[in-house]
Amino acid sequence: MTSSGPLAGIRILEVGVMLAGPYATMMLADLGAEVIKIEPPGGEISRQVSASYFASLNRNKQSVVLDLRSDQGRARLGELVANSHALLVNMKPSAIKRLGLTYDSLKEFNERIVCVAMTGFGLDGGDDPAFDYVIQAATGVAAMTGDPDGPPTLPGYSSADNSTGLTAALGLLAQIVSGRGGQVDVSLQDVMLSQLNYRAAAFLNDGIEPQRYPNGAHSYYVPAQLFPTADGYLALFITHDAFWAAFAAEAGIEGYPTMAERAAHRDEVLAVVNAALATDSAVGWQQRLGRLGIPVAAVRTLPEALAATPQAVVTAGTYRLVACPVKIAGYEPQYRPAPRLDEHAGAPAHSS
């Protein structure tokens, strides 16, 4: 294994709040970047949520407390910027500008600094509150999720924040690779609209408005949804005719050999599939269909999923956390615990 990650030698400053910004920089830190978390006096607010919450988003970082509203804090920030590759911040636009965390404000210290602003609606998009659930509601995600006879539904995790964090990390790295400093602007609204790709294209080009189907059914593929079984729920995802042929043979179903036929007779197909799946448990079907290469999984709880994938759990200090999802041949991240507040106050401004 190599001793340093692919981003070794890259220094990133983070003025991050709660989830989206800290998640972005944690991914970069896991890959070897030096990440300095700049916290206000009293600490970043997510320290107040819970110790495990903060640990899950801030491992492998350093902590330096700066009051960016003071002349001394501003001067110290300039010293850090002078010897860093990027600064990432997630706050409302007015705060980002007021604290001088844009490229226009920081280029005097380093013309090649990459400044990434993560906001709800863009750096010039105003200060309307833009929390994860609000963005999911505003972009149509909630309206297309859930049972058609029930209320709009939100996923069980912060999909907008996490997705925006990953997108911001991509934008940050892209601008560093370009060799030019500059402003990178990433908004939760833009990211979530982008992730609606084929749904948005179907409406924009074909006039097809999204529909909600029972059990999370896919809009194109049939059968592709959750199904009740004799014991538990099963996710079955039949995307092409070869999968259907193998499934139908195992389940004793006849007919509907093509994707077009199955889509045209959705209700009929779902009725026969439901009847077949009711004869065995979700785990039983997973074993039977998995052997045939069919995309299938019994629905697990999070504890069950973690127990089934122990390789995805790592230890950082005293905390057990989910590992970095990016695996690079020859490199194994060393997971250091999230820093204590201002733990690295005496760290030099130059790269170590």
Structure tokens at 180: 């030019």
Look at 157 and 346; give whichever has higher pLDDT: 157
The pLDDT of residue 220: 87
Does the structure show a pLDDT above 90 at 5?
A: yes
Q: What is the mean pLDDT of residues 149-157?
A: 93
pLDDT tens digits along 194-212: 999 999 999 999 999 999 9
The pLDDT of residue 2: 56
In the chain, domain spans? 11-195+312-322, 214-228+233-298
Provide the pLDDT confidence category of residue 253 given band limits of 50, 70 and 90.
Answer: very high
Measured CA to CA, the distance from residue 148 to residue 190 in angstroms comes to 26
The pLDDT of residue 229: 98
Provide the pLDDT confidence category of residue 352 given band limits of 50, 70 and 90.
Answer: very low
Under CATH, what is the fold of the domain 214-228+233-298? formyl-coa transferase, domain 3 (3.30.1540)
Distances (CA, A) of 236 to 164, 239, 321, 334: 29, 10, 29, 37
Instruction: Give the residue numbers marked as catalytic.
Output: 161
Sequence-ordered strand ranges (E) for the chain = 11-15, 34-39, 61-65, 86-90, 114-119, 182-187, 224-228, 233-237, 296-298, 313-316, 319-322
Q: Which CATH class is domain 11-195+312-322?
A: alpha beta
Q: What is the mean pLDDT of residues 41-64?
A: 97
- Report the share of the chain in percent with pLDDT over 90: 95
Provide the pLDDT confidence category of residue 350 given band limits of 50, 70 and 90.
Answer: low
pLDDT tens digits along 254-274: 999 999 999 999 999 999 999
The pLDDT of residue 219: 87
Q: What is the mean pLDDT of residues 33-42?
A: 97
Measured CA to CA, the distance from residue 352 to residue 346 in angstroms comes to 13
The pLDDT of residue 351: 47
The pLDDT of residue 346: 75
pLDDT tens digits along 88-138: 999 999 999 999 999 999 999 999 999 999 999 999 999 998 899 999 999
Provide the pLDDT confidence category of residue 34 given band limits of 50, 70 and 90.
Answer: very high
pTM of the model: 0.93
**Mean pLDDT across the chain, nearest whole number?**
95
Helix (H, G, I), strand (E, B) or coil at 56: helix
pLDDT tens digits along 281-322: 999 999 999 999 999 999 999 999 999 999 999 999 999 999
Q: What is the mean pLDDT of residues 330-342?
A: 95
- φ and ψ at residue 61, rounded to 5 degrees: -115, 165
Measured CA to CA, the distance from residue 95 to residue 160 in angstroms comes to 21
Beta-strand relationship, 319-322 and 313-316: antiparallel
Measured CA to CA, the distance from residue 58 to residue 43 in angstroms comes to 13
As a dihedral over the C-alpha atoms of residue 277, residue 279, residue 285, residue 288, rounded to 10 degrees, the angle is: -120
Measured CA to CA, the distance from residue 270 to residue 261 in angstroms comes to 12
Does the structure show a pLDDT above 90 at 56?
A: yes
Does the structure show a pLDDT above 80 at 11?
A: yes
The pLDDT of residue 3: 67
Q: Closest Cα partner for 178 from 106, 85, 105?
A: 85
Cα first-last separation, the chain: 22
